[in-house]
């Protein structure tokens, strides 16, 4: 259990939140007072100071068949704040500590969890998806999901880290097996995952080619470390990737757009190349010519989040200055409706962060 919804009979507290009572457009988000139970065994209550938006918030708000809601539902996976109260037996946390919340929830006891493969736990969930999230002043989470915040970061910067960096690390390092000297094509550079993937690939010595839709976003991608940027609104990214790699193609492609972009990414991949995908923001059913997959031995790998333990190493790289969160803008939590519209309209580079007063 991660909040008071499943323990409604237990004495708790009231707090304010942005909730949805039904799925739909941004307008379904509304400010309400909610009931929050006291932390249970091995749980803590966090005073949320910042929560970052992700595309999972958009899908959750619109509604998908695998989502299970208990209304009022709260979105929000990426949370930074302060520990406010400890439940019985909670360890590794002190009241007043500044913390990040790891957004992945799992049972912690099954074989996959104990192997450090919690993303394959049968009970795996992401905060704000099939459980209540952080669009609120307070949230109750397992103590196992807390990490100390890097001292150099603000709450807003810290909240921009967990989901996108865990996802990008698994895509580039674990699934993509990036190596120094390889060429990595990162699609849609302005997204949170891609802005993290550019940095991670460069840190591992790869040459990075990024795609984006505007010259302004291209400039920001270069500032993050992209060696080359393809503006896909005026250039064909397959032809440009081939030109930039002397017809070889990209060794690794980081993709979360889906639709035609995934289909064309196969053509942009090198023989024996890897495509790692974690989303489908423009379409779930691409038309693929399988001859380009099996004859050229291109691997297409699915990816969702990453093991909890990886976030510790990621934060060490952040503290050392090798990786950094990319915050496009900070808005009040109570402006979540406008924030959702900006994210849907792709008027963002990096993350929108909602500050919680």
- Lowest average pLDDT, out of 7-16, 65-74, 343-352, goes to 7-16
Number of structural domains in the chain? 2
**Burial (0-12, 13-18, 19+ Cβ within 10 Å), 212:** buried
User: Looking at the structure, do residues 149 and 49 belong to the same domain, yes or no?
Assistant: yes
Say which CATH number the domain at 36 has. Answer: 3.90.180.10
Range of the domain at 213: 165-302
Does one domain contain both 190 and 53? no
Residue 119 lies in a domain: yes
Q: What is the mean pLDDT of residues 176-205?
A: 97
pLDDT digits (tens, 9 = 90+) for 276-313: 999 888 888 999 999 999 999 999 999 999 999 999 99
Q: Kindly give the interhelix angle for 162-169 and 310-319, rounded to the nearest 10 degrees.
A: 110
For residues 71 and 150, state if they share a domain.
yes
Strand 228-231 with 207-212, pairing? parallel
Q: What are phi and psi of 196, to 5 degrees?
A: -75, -40
Q: Give 213's DSSP letter.
A: S
For 92: left if phi > 0, alpha if psi spans -120 to 50, otherwise beta; the answer is: left
Span 125-165, pLDDT tens digits: 999 998 999 999 999 999 999 999 999 999 999 999 999 99
Domain co-membership, 259 together with 331: no
Same domain, 252 and 285: yes
Are residues 175 and 143 part of one domain? no
Q: Which of the four pLDDT bands, split at 50, 70 and 90, describes residue 4?
A: very low
**With the CA atoms of 44, 55, 308 and 71 taken in that order, what torsion angle do they form, in degrees rounded to the nearest 10?**
40
- The answer to whether residue 3 scores a pLDDT higher than 90 is no
The answer to whether residue 314 sits within a structural domain is no
Do 115 and 149 lie in one domain? The reply is yes
Grade residue 9 by pLDDT with cuts at 50, 70 and 90: very low
Long-range contacts of 295-301 (CB under 8 A, 24+ apart): 296/269, 296/271, 296/272, 297/271, 297/272, 298/266, 298/269, 298/271, 298/272, 298/273, 298/274, 299/272, 299/273, 299/274, 299/275, 300/266, 300/275, 301/175, 301/176, 301/274, 301/275, 301/276, 301/277
Check whether residue 294 and residue 214 sit in a common domain. yes
Residue 12 has pLDDT above 90, yes or no: no
Q: Which has more pLDDT, 182 or 92?
A: 182
Burial class (CB in 10 A: 0-12, 13-18, 19+), 298: buried
pTM for the complete prediction? 0.93
Same domain, 108 and 199: no
Residue at 311 is within a domain: no
Please name the residue that has the structure tokens 């595309």: 55
> What is residue 160's predicted lDDT score, i.e. its pLDDT?
97
Cα(212)–Cα(216) distance, integer angstroms = 9
pLDDT of amino acid 266: 97
Beta partners for 43?
142
Are residues 133 and 180 located together in one domain of the fold?
no
């Amino acid at each position: 259990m991660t909040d008071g919804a499943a323990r409604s009979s237990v004495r708790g507290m009231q707090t304010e939140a942005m909730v949805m009572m039904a799925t739909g457009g941004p307008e379904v988000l509304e400010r309400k007072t909610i009931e929050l139970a006291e932390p249970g065994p091995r749980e803590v209550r966090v005073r949320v100071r910042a929560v970052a938006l992700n595309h999972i918030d958009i899908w959750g708000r619109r509604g998908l068949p695998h989502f299970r809601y208990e209304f009022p539902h709260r979105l929000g996976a990426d949370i930074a704040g302060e520990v406010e109260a400890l439940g019985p037996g909670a360890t590794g946390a002190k009241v007043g500590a500044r913390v990040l919340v790891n957004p992945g929830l799992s049972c912690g006891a099954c074989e996959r969890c104990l192997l450090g493969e919690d993303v394959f736990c049968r009970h795996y969930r992401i905060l704000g998806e099939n459980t209540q999230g952080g669009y609120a002043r307070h949230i109750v989470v397992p103590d196992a999901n807390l990490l100390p915040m890097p001292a150099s970061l603000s709450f807003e910067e810290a909240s921009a880290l967990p989901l996108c960096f865990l996802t990008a690390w698994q895509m580039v390092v674990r699934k993509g097996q990036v190596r120094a000297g390889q060429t990595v094509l990162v699609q849609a550079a302005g997204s949170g995952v891609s802005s993290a993937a550019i940095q991670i690939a460069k840190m591992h010595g790869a040459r990075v080619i990024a795609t984006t839709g505007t010259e302004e976003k291209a400039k920001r991608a270069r500032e993050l470390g992209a060696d080359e940027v393809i503006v896909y609104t005026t250039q064909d990214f397959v032809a440009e990737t081939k030109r930039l790699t002397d017809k070889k193609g990209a060794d690794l492609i980081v993709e979360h757009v889906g639709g035609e972009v995934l289909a064309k990414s196969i053509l942009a991949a090198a023989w024996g190349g890897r495509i790692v995908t974690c989303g489908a923001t423009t379409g779930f059913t691409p038309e693929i010519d399988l001859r380009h997959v099996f004859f050229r031995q291109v691997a297409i790998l699915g990816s969702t989040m990453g093991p909890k333990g990886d976030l510790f190493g990621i934060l060490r790289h952040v503290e050392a200055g090798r990786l950094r969160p990319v915050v496009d803008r900070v808005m009040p939590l109570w402006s979540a409706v406008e924030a959702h519209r900006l994210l849907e309209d792709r008027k963002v580079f990096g993350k929108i962060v909602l500050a919680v007063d």
